[in-house]
A and B are shown apart, each in its own frame.
Chain A
Amino acid sequence: MHELGIAQGILDIAVEHARREPGRQVRSIQVAIGALSCVDTQALAFGWEAVARGSVAEGSRLEIERKPGRGFCVPCGQELEVRELGAPCLQCGHYQWLLISGDELKVLSMEVL
């Protein structure tokens, strides 16, 4: 839904860091998108192409690393992978788990040339 806004956020970070590498273009950018972050990766890639036009990142490749959701199940006392909110713990079937990670939206690195 806000993939364009997220793409713009990625661009802002890329431009800020590219300023420290004058004369160089961004060739690719690596981002981590959590499985529970509700971001459509296709829409994001499309949005990226659009927002990067005319910038130091024009034509660059957006590399998306999907991060799985991780939760802690209170009844089990164990960490587990979670695919979506509202899903039961695969070990014990209860719904008493706390989200540890999986909703991150992060720029990890970028390649400049």
Chain B
Amino acid sequence: MCGVCGCDGQEANHEHEQEHEHVLADGQVLRHRHGHDHGHDHGHHHHEDHHHEDHHQGQATLVRIEQDILAKNSAIAARNRARFARTRTLVVNLMSSPGSGKTTLLCRTLEALRGHRPVAVIEGDQSTSLDADRIRATGTAALQLNTGRGCHLDAAMVERALSELPPPTEGVLFIENVGNLVCPAGFDLGEARRVVVLSVTEGEDKPLKYPHMFASADLVLVNKADLLPHLRFDLQQLYANIARIRPGVPVLLVSATTGAGLEQWLGWLGPPSEPRAQA
């Protein structure tokens, strides 16, 4: 094979009679002619010169990688998970759209758990510590994470939070994610359970429109049940839609305002359970 043009040397005018130039990797410029019957120039060892050979051959090498792009987040989530296993902390990732009543429900839950189980909360919002302040008012330790322009919490943020807020031993750590039905679903935080909150003012078709969130839920809480008499909301249609996206997931109807359904929700939280298996 011709080392200049890569052909098998059979074509006409193949002797590369014209002068041509090579620019080596170090910037050196060589000008010469090639012929197939030529011997090598003494001062110019084409086939031994490493850069020259690379330039002629231009052989690209294929490097096999087979690596998950989001591996970094998964690795940190695994570290978090291991840490929670050591302190036997049940970690719940609470997700919903903004305004579903997550924080109100959480405050109600914390008041019910106080004195019975150690609890702590990691709060996620773009801005302010308003939610963490409300949590602290219940007597629960809380740490506020502000994501700025970020739209979800990730494992690294949770890992950093844990250095300031140790997970409660034999207790429950609630992570209230940024209000967003899209992005948080894609980021494992190291939690044991994912709870998605949906309020009755949001429409029956939410699960169909935001399938990835609902498909990842271990429990769906349907909040603001006290408002049902004022709405034309089809609860059965909602249950059917949830079942389409996440067959078999438990769904609880609750009201953070009246306390309806709270017993069942606390029952589901139960004693500390095994970490959730990786999807």
Contact = CB atoms under 8 A, between A and B. Distances in A.
A108 B151 CA distance: 28
A13 B58 CA distance: 24
- Size category of the binding interface on chain B: 20 to 34
Main SS class of interface, A: mixed
Contact of B61 (A13, A21, A31, A38): A21
A38 B63 contact: no
A106 B247 CA distance: 28
B65 A110 contact: yes
Interface stretch (B66-74, B76-84, B165-173): B66-74
A105 B243 contact: no
A71 B207 CA distance: 19
B183 A1 contact: yes
B60 interface: yes
Nearest to A24: B61
A112 B245 contact: no
Interface stretch (B94-102, B192-200, B208-216): B208-216
A21 B243 CA distance: 50
Contacts of A84: 211
Given A17-B63, A86-B245, A106-B69, 8 more contacts: A2-B186, A6-B70, A85-B245, A105-B70, A108-B66, A109-B63, A112-B60, A112-B63
A105 B68 contact: yes
